[in-house]
Amino acid sequence: MFNAPKCPLPPHFLINKMPPDKRLEDQEILDRAQALGLSVDEPEAYVAAVRRQVADAEGILDFPTSRQEPVRRQWSVPSAQENPLNAWYVRTEITEATSGPLAGKTVAIKDNIRVAGVPLMNGTKILEGYVPQVDATVVTRLLGAGATIAGKSTCNAYCFSGGSHVSDTGPVLHPHDPERSAGGSSSGSAALVASGGVDYALGCDQGGSVRVPASFCGLVGMKATHGLVPYTGILGMAPGIDHVGPITRTVAENALVLSVLANSEQVFPKTSGVQGLRIGLVSEGFGRPTSETVVDDSVRTAVHQLSSQGASVSEVSIPLHLAGAPISAALAQLVIDNIFTNDGQALGGEPVDEAFLRQQAQWRTRPNDLPQSVQVSLVSREILRQRHGTALVGRALEETNQLRAAYDTALEDFDLLVMPTTPMRATRLPGSDAGLAEVMTRSGEPLSNTWPFNNTGHPAMSLPCGFSDGLPIGLMLIGAPHSEALLYQTATTLEENLTTEKS
């Protein structure tokens, strides 16, 4: 026997008691069907069915608005003197647990990650004033492990750049050379860790946005296997490419933070050294059009040093690696749809709250507040939609499967793959008078090697392997899904070798 729910539902919320909505005209329903090219054989039943579904959905409007008190946490906007690299968006000092693996450690949170009661801007003035009311899962886990949230770090507008120059709060400066890029889009996170402003930081990575800043700033950045770290409560681009991960100064610190984020100790290395490991240098990751010789040479030298420590190192060709950029460009249509066409309704799953959706929808009345690089992507999406419909996205998804299989095949013969994280060292920031061409070039050029692994989901991490003219050089390790422990094991040896060289 069915018992009606005891909660005070509006009477028409129960489908069998739904009265017709007289405000919706029959002809309006039929006109909408015709506009969609639909044939209506039973007009009366058709109208009734549509009317019922509309009334079901609109029933939510009869619920009382939540009266919960907003979450309030202390935060402040740092002064220019307190923020020399422009890496902070806001400062906080949030601690919940006094013990745990991260007790006493400070963490910067990229400003597309929700921290309840603290503003979230995601680098764009469109979202200025939005204050989330829940913590992202990764924030909850950090606080539970004893960490102190020291603030929100600056990121590029909508995370749409591999440089550090596309934020409405201004460019983030490189910690070793203020005229150069800190990488993006997790620019502030890397700059703060590298400058000693915090112990650790979180970044998000849809095309390289953890690994590129780590490479430019001489840090360790991990994009773990897709899905290993929950993305819940984070503004993203598309669920299939969204990753969140740690940026740290050392490999051991990175593994520790990832273990907290993933709620798993399986990421820790089970052994040490590289004895017996088969390491493949991916030919297509070197000699790119934008590659610097010093970067390619440093990566090869660092990896070949492992041969004397028991590893087998050889070249491997994966031609489809070069398809990573066009695949990502085609799939960017989904990103534009999620953020703009759908006003952010598919960004990182729950919770996407009403306040955020209202705020994000303001782009429609304020399109010129969007950075030019984002405007270019919007126009490109419309042209591609008109010319190809969904064909390009479908083709890109098919090619992604082929690309994933190509890496998997290589990883049957090798334990790890290696290439430069970025083809170049940190580039110069565009000047205040820079034209659109320079802004776009500086945004995209660091991403050619990092993009593919967001699409395929393989774990990939960047770590420093040398310096040239005072600028760090990043090396990227790639493994089979859920091989984070092996990546950390190998990275530890590479890190020890670099430390020995310095001393």
Chain segment 165-177, per-residue pLDDT in tens: 999 999 999 999 9
d(CA 334, CA 400): 14
Distance CA 11, CA 375 (A): 46
State whether the Cα torsion 477-480-482-485 is positive or negative. negative
Tell me, what's the pLDDT at 60?
Answer: 84
The residues, ordered by sequence, that sit 6+ positions from 25 with a Cβ below 8 Å of its Cβ are: none
Structure letter (DSSP) for residue 158: G
- Domain 88-502 homologous superfamily, CATH: Amidase signature (AS) domain (3.90.1300.10)
Of 110, 161, 164, 215, which is the active-site residue? 110
Contact between 337 and 303 under an 8 Å Cβ cutoff? The reply is no
Q: What distance in Å separates the CA atoms of residue 486 and residue 364, rounded to the nearest whole number?
A: 47
Q: What is the pLDDT, as a whole number, of residue 344?
A: 85
Q: Which of 57-61, 65-69, 281-285 has the lowest mean pLDDT?
A: 65-69
209 belongs to the catalytic site: yes
What pTM does this model have? 0.92
- Taking residue 58's Cβ as centre, other Cβ atoms within 10 Å add up to 13
Distance, in Å, from the CA atom of 495 to the CA atom of 35, rounded to the nearest integer, reads: 62
Confidence of residue 63 (pLDDT cuts 50, 70, 90): confident
> Choosing from 209, 373, 462, 483, which is the catalytic residue?
209
Task: Please report how the helices 43-58 and 26-35 are oriented relative to each other, as an axis angle in degrees rounded to 10.
Answer: 100
Distance CA 57, CA 52 (A): 9
Please name the amino acid found at residue 315. Answer: E
Please say if the pLDDT value at position 363 is more than 70: yes
| 181 included as an active-site residue | no
| pLDDT of res. 351 | 57
Give the pLDDT score at 2.
35
Mean of pLDDT values over 395-402: 97
User: Do residues 288 and 445 touch, judged by C-beta distance below 8 A?
Assistant: no
Contact (Cβ atoms closer than 8 angstroms) between residue 459 and residue 193: no
Mean pLDDT computed over 231-258: 96
Q: Identify the pLDDT of residue 21.
A: 46
The per-residue pLDDT for 70 is 86
Rounded CA-CA distance 21/37 in Å is 24
Provide the pairing of β-strand 312-316 with 416-420. unpaired
Rounded distance, CA 407 to CA 413, Å? 10
Q: Which amino acid is at 299?
A: V
The secondary structure of residue 426, as a DSSP letter, is: P
Q: Quote the CA–CA distance of 503 and 21 in Å, as a whole number.
A: 78
pLDDT of res. 349: 54
Task: State mean pLDDT over 290-298.
Answer: 98
Long-range contacts of 283-287 (CB under 8 A, 24+ apart): 283/315, 283/316, 283/317, 283/318, 284/317, 284/318, 284/319, 284/321, 284/322, 284/419, 285/321, 285/418, 285/419, 285/420, 285/449, 285/476, 286/419, 286/420
In which order are the strands placed within the sheet that holds 278-282?
88-95, 148-153, 106-110, 200-204, 244-248, 220-223, 460-468, 471-478, 416-420, 278-282, 312-316
Backbone CA torsion sign across 405, 336, 220, 101: negative
What is the C-alpha to C-alpha distance for residues 256 and 145, in angstroms, rounded to an integer?
A: 11
Instruction: Check: CB of residue 495 under 8 Å from CB of residue 466.
Output: no
Does 13 score more than 80 pLDDT?
no
| Residue 400 binned pLDDT confidence (cut-offs 50, 70, 90) | very high
Q: Average model confidence (pLDDT) for the chain?
A: 93
Q: Is 105 a catalytic residue?
A: no
Listed in order, the ranges of the chain carrying CATH 3.90.1300.10 are 88-502
DSSP assignment of 10-22 equals -GGGSGGG----T
* Segment 367-372 mean pLDDT: 95
As a whole number of angstroms, the distance between CA 255 and CA 461 comes to: 11
The CA distances from residue 299 to 195, 198, 218, 346, 488, in Å, are 24, 28, 13, 38, 17
Distances (CA, A) of 369 to 126, 343, 362: 7, 15, 10
Q: Percentage of the chain surpassing pLDDT 70?
A: 93
Catalytic residue among 161, 181, 185, 328: 185
Of 443, 455, 445, residue with least CA distance to 423: 445
Mean pLDDT, range 61-67, rounded to an integer: 76
pLDDT category, 350, cuts 50, 70, 90? low
Q: What is the token pair recorded at 320?
A: 């489809």
Which run of H or of E encompasses 312?
strand 312-316
What does the pLDDT average to over 219-243? Answer: 96
Q: Which tokens go with 25? A: 């005209």
Query: Is the predicted pLDDT of residue 4 greater than 70, yes or no?
Result: no
- For residue 15, the model assigns a pLDDT of 35
